[in-house]
Protein backbone atom coordinates (compact mmCIF):
# COMPACT_ATOMS: atom_id res chain seq x y z
CA UNK A 1 0.00 0.00 0.00
CA UNK A 2 2.90 2.40 0.69
CA UNK A 3 3.81 2.37 -3.01
CA UNK A 4 0.27 3.13 -4.17
CA UNK A 5 -0.15 6.29 -6.22
CA UNK A 6 -3.43 7.75 -7.48
CA UNK A 7 -3.97 7.22 -11.19
CA UNK A 8 -5.21 9.79 -13.65
CA UNK A 9 -8.86 9.10 -14.41
CA UNK A 10 -9.98 12.39 -15.97
CA UNK A 11 -9.72 14.00 -19.38
CA UNK A 12 -10.27 17.66 -18.54
CA UNK A 13 -9.54 19.81 -15.51
CA UNK A 14 -11.71 22.92 -15.54
CA UNK A 15 -12.22 26.00 -13.36
CA UNK A 16 -15.74 26.47 -11.97
CA UNK A 17 -17.21 29.35 -10.00
CA UNK A 18 -18.14 28.20 -6.50
CA UNK A 19 -19.48 29.71 -3.32
CA UNK A 20 -16.62 31.72 -1.84
CA UNK A 21 -14.46 31.69 -4.95
CA UNK A 22 -13.43 29.13 -7.53
CA UNK A 23 -12.96 25.40 -7.57
CA UNK A 24 -11.53 22.87 -10.02
CA UNK A 25 -13.44 19.95 -11.45
CA UNK A 26 -12.05 16.82 -13.09
CA UNK A 27 -14.61 15.78 -15.69
CA UNK A 28 -17.27 17.36 -13.50
CA UNK A 29 -16.00 15.92 -10.20
CA UNK A 30 -14.89 18.56 -7.72
CA UNK A 31 -11.33 18.37 -6.43
CA UNK A 32 -11.09 17.91 -2.68
CA UNK A 33 -8.27 18.41 -0.19
CA UNK A 34 -6.57 15.49 1.60
CA UNK A 35 -8.95 16.16 4.52
CA UNK A 36 -11.89 15.81 2.10
CA UNK A 37 -12.87 19.49 2.12
CA UNK A 38 -13.98 21.07 -1.13
CA UNK A 39 -11.00 22.83 -2.68
CA UNK A 40 -12.21 26.41 -3.11
CA UNK A 41 -9.68 29.19 -3.70
CA UNK A 42 -10.30 32.94 -3.64
CA UNK A 43 -9.07 33.94 -7.09
CA UNK A 44 -9.49 32.76 -10.63
CA UNK A 45 -5.76 32.98 -11.26
CA UNK A 46 -5.01 30.50 -8.48
CA UNK A 47 -7.77 28.16 -9.65
CA UNK A 48 -6.43 28.26 -13.21
CA UNK A 49 -2.95 27.38 -11.96
CA UNK A 50 -4.35 24.44 -9.99
CA UNK A 51 -6.32 23.24 -13.00
CA UNK A 52 -3.16 23.43 -15.12
CA UNK A 53 -1.30 21.30 -12.56
CA UNK A 54 -4.00 18.61 -12.66
CA UNK A 55 -4.15 18.74 -16.44
CA UNK A 56 -0.38 18.25 -16.65
CA UNK A 57 -0.47 15.00 -14.67
CA UNK A 58 0.15 11.89 -16.74
CA UNK A 59 -0.54 8.29 -15.73
CA UNK A 60 0.07 8.84 -12.02
CA UNK A 61 -0.53 11.91 -9.89
CA UNK A 62 2.73 13.36 -8.56
CA UNK A 63 2.06 15.95 -5.79
CA UNK A 64 5.67 17.13 -6.08
CA UNK A 65 4.74 18.75 -9.40
CA UNK A 66 1.68 20.49 -7.95
CA UNK A 67 2.90 23.32 -5.66
CA UNK A 68 -0.18 25.53 -6.06
CA UNK A 69 -2.50 22.65 -5.25
CA UNK A 70 -0.38 21.78 -2.21
CA UNK A 71 -0.46 25.39 -1.00
CA UNK A 72 -4.25 25.53 -1.35
CA UNK A 73 -4.56 22.23 0.52
CA UNK A 74 -2.37 23.58 3.31
CA UNK A 75 -4.42 26.78 3.52
CA UNK A 76 -7.71 24.89 3.83
CA UNK A 77 -6.69 21.86 5.90
CA UNK A 78 -3.91 23.26 8.09
CA UNK A 79 -4.06 27.05 8.32
CA UNK A 80 -7.82 27.55 8.53
CA UNK A 81 -8.37 25.52 11.74
CA UNK A 82 -5.36 27.05 13.50
CA UNK A 83 -4.68 30.39 11.84
CA UNK A 84 -3.82 32.19 15.08
CA UNK A 85 -1.19 29.60 15.96
CA UNK A 86 0.36 29.66 12.48
CA UNK A 87 0.47 33.47 12.47
CA UNK A 88 2.15 33.44 15.88
CA UNK A 89 4.73 30.94 14.71
CA UNK A 90 5.59 33.14 11.73
CA UNK A 91 5.53 36.31 13.85
CA UNK A 92 8.13 34.73 16.14
CA UNK A 93 10.59 34.87 13.25
CA UNK A 94 10.55 38.66 13.63
CA UNK A 95 12.15 38.23 17.03
CA UNK A 96 15.14 36.37 15.57
CA UNK A 97 15.10 37.43 11.94
CA UNK A 98 17.98 36.32 9.73
CA UNK A 99 18.75 39.93 8.78
CA UNK A 100 19.37 40.88 12.41
CA UNK A 101 22.19 38.39 13.10
CA UNK A 102 25.47 39.37 11.49
CA UNK A 103 28.80 37.64 11.16
CA UNK A 104 31.73 38.78 13.28
CA UNK A 105 34.02 38.05 10.31
CA UNK A 106 35.52 37.72 7.78
CA UNK A 107 35.39 41.38 6.80
CA UNK A 108 34.11 40.66 3.30
CA UNK A 109 31.14 38.68 4.62
CA UNK A 110 30.35 41.43 7.12
CA UNK A 111 30.45 43.97 4.27
CA UNK A 112 28.09 41.91 2.12
CA UNK A 113 25.59 41.51 4.94
CA UNK A 114 25.61 45.24 5.67
CA UNK A 115 25.22 46.14 1.99
CA UNK A 116 22.47 43.60 1.37
CA UNK A 117 20.51 43.53 4.60
CA UNK A 118 20.64 47.06 6.01
CA UNK A 119 18.53 48.56 3.17
CA UNK A 120 15.81 45.95 3.77
CA UNK A 121 15.74 46.71 7.49
CA UNK A 122 15.58 50.42 6.63
CA UNK A 123 12.58 49.69 4.41
CA UNK A 124 10.86 47.76 7.21
CA UNK A 125 11.45 50.65 9.60
CA UNK A 126 10.04 53.22 7.18
CA UNK A 127 7.23 51.39 5.41
CA UNK A 128 6.13 48.87 8.04
CA UNK A 129 6.88 51.09 11.05
CA UNK A 130 8.88 48.15 12.39
CA UNK A 131 12.51 49.11 13.10
CA UNK A 132 14.62 46.14 14.15
CA UNK A 133 18.01 46.05 15.83
CA UNK A 134 20.91 43.95 14.58
CA UNK A 135 23.93 42.48 16.32
CA UNK A 136 26.96 40.33 15.65
CA UNK A 137 27.23 36.69 16.55
CA UNK A 138 24.53 34.41 17.91
CA UNK A 139 23.66 36.26 21.11
CA UNK A 140 19.95 37.08 21.19
CA UNK A 141 19.05 40.59 20.05
CA UNK A 142 16.04 42.10 21.83
CA UNK A 143 13.60 43.75 19.45
CA UNK A 144 11.18 46.61 20.17
CA UNK A 145 7.81 45.21 21.22
CA UNK A 146 6.01 47.76 19.03
CA UNK A 147 7.96 46.60 15.97
CA UNK A 148 7.08 42.97 16.62
CA UNK A 149 3.45 43.95 17.02
CA UNK A 150 3.53 45.73 13.65
CA UNK A 151 4.98 42.64 11.98
CA UNK A 152 2.35 40.45 13.62
CA UNK A 153 -0.37 42.78 12.35
CA UNK A 154 0.94 42.30 8.81
CA UNK A 155 0.33 38.59 9.19
CA UNK A 156 -3.09 39.03 10.76
CA UNK A 157 -4.18 41.02 7.71
CA UNK A 158 -3.72 38.01 5.42
CA UNK A 159 -6.25 35.28 4.79
CA UNK A 160 -5.40 31.60 5.08
CA UNK A 161 -4.16 31.40 1.48
CA UNK A 162 -1.81 34.33 1.92
CA UNK A 163 -0.54 32.85 5.18
CA UNK A 164 0.13 29.48 3.53
CA UNK A 165 2.20 31.12 0.79
CA UNK A 166 4.01 33.47 3.16
CA UNK A 167 4.78 30.53 5.44
CA UNK A 168 7.07 29.06 2.80
CA UNK A 169 8.79 32.38 2.14
CA UNK A 170 9.50 32.84 5.85
CA UNK A 171 10.55 29.33 6.76
CA UNK A 172 12.73 28.80 3.70
CA UNK A 173 14.56 32.14 4.03
CA UNK A 174 14.55 32.39 7.82
CA UNK A 175 13.37 35.99 7.49
CA UNK A 176 9.93 37.46 8.09
CA UNK A 177 11.22 40.81 6.83
CA UNK A 178 12.36 39.37 3.50
CA UNK A 179 9.02 37.58 3.10
CA UNK A 180 7.09 40.79 3.73
CA UNK A 181 9.34 42.71 1.35
CA UNK A 182 8.27 40.29 -1.38
CA UNK A 183 4.63 40.54 -0.40
CA UNK A 184 4.77 44.34 -0.65
CA UNK A 185 6.80 44.13 -3.88
CA UNK A 186 9.71 46.03 -2.43
CA UNK A 187 11.93 43.15 -3.57
CA UNK A 188 11.44 40.60 -6.29
CA UNK A 189 11.38 37.00 -5.16
CA UNK A 190 14.73 36.42 -6.85
CA UNK A 191 16.28 39.40 -5.06
CA UNK A 192 14.97 38.22 -1.70
CA UNK A 193 16.23 34.70 -2.34
CA UNK A 194 19.72 36.00 -3.16
CA UNK A 195 19.77 38.09 0.03
CA UNK A 196 18.78 35.08 2.11
CA UNK A 197 21.75 33.18 0.65
CA UNK A 198 24.56 35.66 1.35
CA UNK A 199 26.17 33.47 4.02
CA UNK A 200 25.87 30.26 2.00
CA UNK A 201 27.22 31.78 -1.20
CA UNK A 202 30.18 33.25 0.67
CA UNK A 203 31.00 29.80 2.04
CA UNK A 204 30.75 28.31 -1.45
CA UNK A 205 33.30 30.85 -2.67
CA UNK A 206 35.67 29.82 0.09
CA UNK A 207 35.27 26.04 -0.02
CA UNK A 208 33.78 25.17 -3.39
CA UNK A 209 30.45 23.71 -4.40
CA UNK A 210 28.94 20.48 -3.15
CA UNK A 211 26.52 18.68 -5.45
CA UNK A 212 24.20 17.50 -2.68
CA UNK A 213 24.05 20.95 -1.10
CA UNK A 214 23.49 22.53 -4.51
CA UNK A 215 20.57 20.21 -5.22
CA UNK A 216 19.00 21.00 -1.86
CA UNK A 217 19.43 24.74 -2.43
CA UNK A 218 17.88 24.49 -5.89
CA UNK A 219 14.83 22.71 -4.46
CA UNK A 220 14.44 25.41 -1.81
CA UNK A 221 14.77 28.13 -4.44
CA UNK A 222 12.01 26.57 -6.55
CA UNK A 223 9.75 26.39 -3.51
CA UNK A 224 10.56 29.98 -2.53
CA UNK A 225 9.89 31.38 -5.99
CA UNK A 226 6.75 29.27 -6.27
CA UNK A 227 5.36 30.65 -3.01
CA UNK A 228 6.04 34.19 -4.21
CA UNK A 229 4.17 33.42 -7.43
CA UNK A 230 1.16 32.26 -5.43
CA UNK A 231 1.15 35.55 -3.53
CA UNK A 232 1.19 37.30 -6.87
CA UNK A 233 -1.76 35.23 -8.10
CA UNK A 234 -3.72 36.20 -5.01
CA UNK A 235 -2.98 39.93 -5.11
CA UNK A 236 -3.12 40.59 -8.85
CA UNK A 237 -6.26 38.59 -9.46
CA UNK A 238 -8.07 40.16 -6.54
CA UNK A 239 -7.20 43.66 -7.67
CA UNK A 240 -8.70 42.90 -11.08
CA UNK A 241 -11.81 41.33 -9.58
CA UNK A 242 -12.34 44.29 -7.28
Could you report the per-residue pLDDT of 125-135, keeping only the tens digit for each? Answer: 999 999 999 99
Whether residue 35 is contained in a domain is answered as no
Q: Decide if 38 is inside a domain.
A: no
Looking at the domain assignment, is residue 74 inside a domain? no
Kindly state whether residue 45 falls inside one of the protein's structural domains.
no
Asked, for residue 128, whether it belongs to a domain, the answer is: yes
Is the pTM higher than 0.85? The answer reads yes
Convert the pLDDT of each residue in 6-17 to its tens digit: 788 999 999 999
Residue 39 in this model has a pLDDT that exceeds 60: yes
CATH code of the domain covering residue 93: 1.10.3580.10
pLDDT surpasses 60 at 4: no
Specify if 235 maps to a domain. yes
Note the pLDDT of residue 2: 41
Q: Is residue 20 part of a domain?
A: no
Count of domains for the chain: 1
**pLDDT on residue 1:** 35
pLDDT above 90 (res 5): no
The domain of 154 spans 81-241
> Does the residue 150 lie in any domain?
yes
Half-sphere exposure of residue 68: CA atoms within 13 angstroms, side-chain side: 25
Q: What pLDDT, in 10s, does the model give residues 158-193?
A: 999 999 999 999 999 999 999 999 999 999 999 999
71-108 pLDDT, tens digit each: 999 999 999 999 999 999 999 999 999 999 999 999 99
Amino acid sequence: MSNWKPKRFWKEATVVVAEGGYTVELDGRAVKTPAKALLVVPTQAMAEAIAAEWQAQEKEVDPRTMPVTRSANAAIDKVTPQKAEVCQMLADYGGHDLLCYRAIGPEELVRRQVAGWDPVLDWAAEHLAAPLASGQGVVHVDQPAQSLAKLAAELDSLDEFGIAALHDLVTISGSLVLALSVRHRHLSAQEAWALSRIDEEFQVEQWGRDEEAEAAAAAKERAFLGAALILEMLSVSRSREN
